[in-house]
Structure 1
Amino acid sequence: MKIDSMKISNFRGYAGNTEIKFNDLTVFVGKNDIGKSTVLEALDIFFNEGKGVVKLDKSDVNVENRRNENQETCISVIFKDLPDEIVIDSNVPTTLKDEFLLNAEKKLEVIKKYNNGGSPKVFIKAMHPSNSNCKNLLLKKNADLKKIVQQKQIVCENQSVNSLLRKAIWEHYSEDLSLQETEIDASKEDAKKIWDKLSNYMPVYSLFQSDRKNSDGDSEVQDPLKEAVKEILNDASLKGDLNNIAEKVNHKLQNVASRTLKKLKEIDSEIARNLNPVIPAVNALKWADVFKAVSIAGDEDIPINKRGSGVKRLVLLSFFRAEAERRLSEQGGNGIIYAIEEPETSQHTENQKKLIEAFKSLSQANNVQVLLTTHSAFIVKHLDFTDIRLITQGDGSNQRVIKDVLPSQLKYPSLNEVNFIAFNEATEEYHDELYGFIDFQGWREEYKRGKHCRPYKQIGRNGEIRETKKILTEYIRHQIHHPENTHNDKYTEKELLCSINMMREFISGKQAEENVNPE
């Protein structure tokens, strides 16, 4: 399964209900503290239920809503690429469609509601039968389903299987199911057992945070293999093997000690009486110490924690991916979602390019999605326009607006415009795009009208210098396209920003006119 979209409400800066669409590669951009990481952390809470990176608590409830006594946080995930079959009762396969567990768009919509940061109640929003004779069948036990079948004389080939009983009952009332959008409470009665089985089909979600520790003392930076040893030694079957080994060693040590004391008694029984072997208990053994020499080192055996921050970050990122894939294989291979905050951290631009190309390639694999946040204008320019989600401030102080990045001032996809809106990056390329758009629309003379002009020394074809007048935008444009002309004062970054904003304001005004007076 893959995430098609999610809805989030009353969680940190997201006061009202906000819907977010996902691709196989989805990259969130926006200014600091706008809510990019919040989206990835909400998904970690949803999938990993406090056993991942993030734990939900009451401080995560939106401040404004809390003042209004609304303490229910809601995180919903809508899934696509659903399994052809599922097993939710005994070992008999059924389908989400046959169980009426799909929403109006034929997708699986799972809602988790958290009261004041507590444990979630799980609901499945679906077009579900509301006919009183056949509703709430997912909540009923086998005896209750049998009773309906027997009372209504409904044929069912195997009354020991709940899914077959439900199917028979629904088929009996197929002319009058009265399907309605329903939130099925999967937290109570037999529906909880169904959700426990259904949750096994969820993809693995792994979050790599931007503020992950990166100091020399951090255990993962010291060496990710040491952290891996701890994880490996926690495996239940491996613990059993190690305990068997420890008991065998203990038994042999006891034999050696006994034989030694026996021989000692032959020489001096008094000394032997006061000596006893001290052998640690099995559960007191520190197996991790046996593997304390494991490490990853580079050139000339330089340990990872002594390498540059960029190298450390790359190793940790690779360790994160490897561990996520291990979790995937252990949980049955139902899909994996890599969520990575600011992969560009501490990376040279060449490495940034390699990383984004690697993530683009990774996202094309079967049952894989990649979610990123970034502050890198360089990375944005290497993305497909449709994979970007721009987060902006909403109407209220605690609102966030997440939207697909669509043409705004320009009527075509512009990554330069994304970077300007998200990171306030004023570039010559974006200035050129805006000016070219105004010129192409035939608005240049109207744009120039009434604007202050400044002297500009222009070089003629014969090399002579002549004085002209240019508005700020044309002054900058000429300097961009004629860097060989050094006879004018270079425009400032402030002037570049001012010119860009003037063009954006002008284009917005023209577009507003077109909307009022469409052709």
Structure 2
Amino acid sequence: MKIVKLQIENFRGFENVEVMLDEKFNVIVGRNDVGKSTVLEALEIFFNNNTVKIDTEDLCKFSDKDYIEIGVSFKLQSFELRIDTIPTFLDKEYLLDEYGFLNVVKRWDCSKKSITKASERIFIRANYPKGYDEPLITLKNSDLKSKVADIFGDDLPDNIKQNTNSTMRLALYESYNKLNSIDLKTTLIELNKEDAKKVWINLQKDIPLFFLFQSDRANKHSDKEVQDPLKAITKLAISEVQDDLERVINRIENLVTQVAQDTVNKMQEMDPSLAESLKPNLSQKNWDSLFSFTFIGDDEVPINKRGSGFRRLLLLNYFRAEAERANESRKPIIYAIEEPETALHPNWQLMLIQSLLDLSENNSAQILITTHSPALASTINYEYIRFIKKENRVHDISQGHNTSLDEVCATLGIMPTISSSNDLGRIKVILCLEGINDVKFFYNISNLFDIDLENDCRILVIPLGGNTLLEWVNKSYLDKLTLPQIHIYDNDVAKYQDAIDIVNERTDGSFGCLTRMVEIENYVHPSLIKSIYNIDEDYFVDNNNWKEEWVTHNVPKNLNEFLTDLSQRRGTEILNHGKSKIKSKFADEGAKLMTVELLQDLNVFDEVNDWFSGIKAFL
């Protein structure tokens, strides 16, 4: 499950707002006191109501309603759901919204002095058939039997099992759709009775874990800056053995129930009237409440007594560790981090963001952060930006797009990094590449083509192929210069072709192209991997068709898996083989080892030679 939309109604300064979220990474920006933290805290209340707890004071002062509502839309990998071990399907039961998402809504009654657990109501907002007074998922077995009897009489189809509610509901929907044109409307279905209640119980097993890391220092013995990552570690560990724990719980329940029932039976032998009022009732605490741990330094100084920078470093390295151990089989996790730049050195800020970006590439993780840092935000793909602004009490939350980036960059104070000094007068051509690793690759391979790309002052080389805010600002600045541009981007991103087309329409000799290989890493010969990683094992060059397959081979992903497996078999760690580190090592070390003969063996020499011939033509 991934969040695709957040809906907030009557919560603090938000009267009614929708936030569309990216399935991987989200950066929430805006001026102070515009509601950035409120978005993260609304999610914390929806998922946990723990680190931040809802209160009647949270009711929007401008609303005439007496409730707070927070809704989250989830994108599902599967619509199948089991109710009492019987499979059913959320789409066939009309429990999805008009976009095909699972939209869960929580509502809290604020009409009384305080909000209790009883004040919370849970709904599914679904695109549901108009023809039913009550959603079928909320009806008792006897009511469903009555409806089935009204339609089918005694001639029940074989697929209808009267002891299985889901088969009766599906038959009723099918019959209704045959007799009526499908007419759907948005309906709130409360999950508080019959199979609707069971739906929620089962959905909760798949609902992502949510962790909020706040920037404000708590100044308590149990400082949140320390406790939050430690609690996260505990919850994650528990989630990964959840199946084992469920078996333990069931075993304990069975044993306790049996002993309790035996006790009641003996009580009945002595006095049946007293035994009638007795029944077993077993409750349990959350598993994570049973475990607690911390870190203790050699000097025995508690972590909460260390500086805030040290505590944020703990958080940084928690995410670095998570990024390296992430795998696709884990329960979905959502990390929400308020101002990750707080108390961190700028270099460590960038390290934290890279760790989060790496983590977001895993199918089980989704990241949300807020920030005021222009240096940090400038490194982010602008499509991950969610920009909040407020005018006359009305909030607008938009996705980063060309039409809004001027305002986003002005709010954050992001300026172009390209010098506007007299050095520009010496520049003859601008070479625009996708990222910093591509720049390093071109620097290190340029000597094969009789050019010193790194030191030739006539050539400005900049990373400009991605969609970060800084790249967008630089691109806007470059377009104002009367200098020819050469754009060379990897062909793994289809939308880069649009940028290439725009460059090729210029009339000043500018040109652009996509690489024939899928990424720049594929221009490093795989035989060099032995030297790069000091291993004896061959990688990839073990079949006759390897050259054709290498063209589209996902080097960072597959080589990382190969080296991880090799490390496990050896029992010793091969350093620097995460996906981002592989990209860096190929650009730094692999490119330096390349030769004309190796380029020819990859069948790419003519292509690369054309790139550098195009550059030299402007000199």
TM-score normalised per structure 2: 0.52
Q: Is the 8 A contact 1:85 1:93 kept in 2?
A: yes
Alignment match, 1:403: 398
Give unpaired runs (5+ residues) of structure 2: 111-116, 243-290, 420-472, 484-619
1:365 and 2:362 equivalent? yes
Question: How far apart in 1 are the matches of 2:87 and 2:227?
Answer: 47
Taking a change above 3 Å as real, the CA distance of residues 57 and 166 of structure 1, as seen in their structure-2 partners, is same
Q: Is the 8 A contact 1:223 1:295 kept in 2?
A: no
Question: How far apart in 2 are the matches of 1:362 and 1:230?
Answer: 18
Q: 2:106 corresponds to which letter in structure 1?
A: K
Deviation for aligned residue 1:318:
5.1
- SS of alignment partner, residue 184 of structure 1: strand
1:129 and 2:129 equivalent? yes
Taking a change above 3 Å as real, the CA distance of residues 379 and 340 of structure 1, as seen in their structure-2 partners, is same
1:86 and 2:81 equivalent? yes
- SS of alignment partner, residue 346 of structure 1: coil
Q: 1:160 corresponds to which letter in structure 2?
A: N
Note the alpha carbon deviations across 1:332-352, whole angstroms, 9 max, x for none.
954111111111111001101
Question: How far apart in 2 are the matches of 1:150 and 1:158?
Answer: 12
Deviation for aligned residue 1:30:
1.2
Question: How far apart in 2 are the matches of 1:185 and 1:230?
Answer: 29
Deviation for aligned residue 1:364:
0.7
Alignment match, 1:198: 203
Taking a change above 3 Å as real, the CA distance of residues 107 and 317 of structure 1, as seen in their structure-2 partners, is same
Taking a change above 3 Å as real, the CA distance of residues 365 and 16 of structure 1, as seen in their structure-2 partners, is same
Note the alpha carbon deviations across 1:47-90, whole angstroms, 9 max, x for none.
22xx421111111111122xxx3222221111113324211x21
Q: 2:25 corresponds to which letter in structure 1?
A: L
Q: Is the 8 A contact 2:323 2:355 kept in 1?
A: no
Note the alpha carbon deviations across 1:254-284, whole angstroms, 9 max, x for none.
xxxxxxxxxxxxxxxxxxxxxxxxxxxxxxx
Question: How far apart in 1 are the matches of 2:98 and 2:227?
Answer: 51
- SS of alignment partner, residue 185 of structure 2: strand
Q: Is the 8 A contact 2:356 2:367 kept in 1?
A: yes
Q: Is the 8 A contact 2:5 2:18 kept in 1?
A: no
Note the alpha carbon deviations across 1:96-133, whole angstroms, 9 max, x for none.
1111111111111122222329833222222222224x
Note the alpha carbon deviations across 1:287-331, whole angstroms, 9 max, x for none.
xxxxx99763457776545544222112146569999999x99xx
1:421 and 2:411 equivalent? yes
- SS of alignment partner, residue 410 of structure 2: helix
Q: 1:200 corresponds to which letter in structure 2?
A: K
Q: 1:387 corresponds to which letter in structure 2?
A: Y
Q: Is the 8 A contact 2:323 2:359 kept in 1?
A: no
Count of aligned residue pairs for this structure pair:
367
- SS of alignment partner, residue 173 of structure 1: helix
- SS of alignment partner, residue 205 of structure 1: strand
1:337 and 2:348 equivalent? no
Deviation for aligned residue 1:426:
9.8
Q: Is the 8 A contact 2:316 2:352 kept in 1?
A: no
Question: How far apart in 1 are the matches of 2:359 and 2:43?
Answer: 20
- SS of alignment partner, residue 11 of structure 2: coil
Question: How far apart in 1 are the matches of 2:304 and 2:59?
Answer: 38
Identity value in percent: 39
Note the alpha carbon deviations across 1:359-386, whole angstroms, 9 max, x for none.
0000111121001011111111111010
1:115 and 2:109 equivalent? yes
Alignment match, 2:310: 311
Alignment match, 1:375: 372
Taking a change above 3 Å as real, the CA distance of residues 419 and 150 of structure 1, as seen in their structure-2 partners, is same
Taking a change above 3 Å as real, the CA distance of residues 102 and 197 of structure 1, as seen in their structure-2 partners, is same
- SS of alignment partner, residue 168 of structure 1: helix
Give unpaired runs (5+ residues) of structure 1: 238-291, 410-414, 441-519
Question: How far apart in 1 are the matches of 2:84 and 2:232?
Answer: 38
Alignment match, 2:440: none
- Paired residues for 1:248-397 under 5 Å: 296-297=295-296, 304-305=303-304, 307-316=306-315, 333-394=330-391, 397=392
1:106 and 2:100 equivalent? yes
Alignment match, 1:152: 151
Alignment match, 1:515: none
Question: How far apart in 1 are the matches of 2:373 and 2:138?
Answer: 49
